[in-house]
Amino acid sequence: MTQLNILTLPDSRLKTVAQPIPQVTDEIRQLAADMLETMYAAPGIGLAATQVDRHIQMVVIDVSEDKSEPLVLINPEIIERAGIQTHEEGCLSVPGIYAKVKRADQVMIKYQDLDGQWQELQTEGLLAVCIQHELDHLKGIVFLDHLSVLKRKIALKKLAKLHD
């Protein structure tokens, strides 16, 4: 396995919209393994292919305390949302910046697994937040895009200072 380079703001490649994966191949499975290794090493709880400069619809997630429940979501799509929660979010592509974001409290998604089989997953809480955050990356959206213009400007200034 290989640790991959994670793109960080203001890299414009983070705004690229990811394309569907036509077929789950060994190359896709290897990329998923590399993305999991990269995510765990960062450390983080989610990583979208967009963040490692691969503009395909795949995310990896593991919100377990002991990093024992990795999820690989290929061509994921939210099919139902319910409730609202506000959760403080951070992002491996926006290091050192955290902000409260409103998202659905519960989501149902459909996705393909590493065997190419379609699955559905109903989830809530932190996993639901993480899924929504990572699926945003596939659309070229970072969590700062959910903030007011003023809060976004403050966060970007802080980011620039942190990385000078």
Catalytic residues: 134
C-beta neighbour count of 26 within 10 angstroms = 7
C-beta neighbour count of 29 within 10 angstroms = 14
Cα–Cα distance for residue pair 99/86, rounded to 1 Å: 10
Across 94-129, b (16+ Cβ under 10 Å) vs e yields: beebebebebbbbbbbebbeeeeeeeeeebeeebbb
Contact between 140 and 16 (Cβ < 8 Å): yes
When computed from its CA atoms, the radius of gyration of the chain, rounded to whole angstroms, is 15
